[in-house]
Amino acid sequence: MNTYRFSEKVSNSINLIYTLIFFPKARLIRRPFYLRGKNAFKYGQGFTCGYGCRFDLSNGKESSLILGSRVLMGDHVHIVAQSKVIIGDDCLLASNIFISDTNHGVLTQADPQSSPLIPPNSRPLEFKPVTIGKNVWIGEAVSILPGVSIGDGVILGAHCVVTKDIPANTMAVGAPARVIKIYDFENSSWKDCLEITEVSP
Q: Which of 134, 174, 140 is nearest to 154 (CA)?
A: 134
Determine how β-strand 170-173 pairs with β-strand 178-184.
antiparallel
User: 104 catalytic, yes or no?
Assistant: yes
One of 76, 78, 104, 159 is an active-site residue; which one? 104
- Whether the CB-CB separation of 152 and 170 falls below 8 Å is answered with no
Catalytic residues: 104
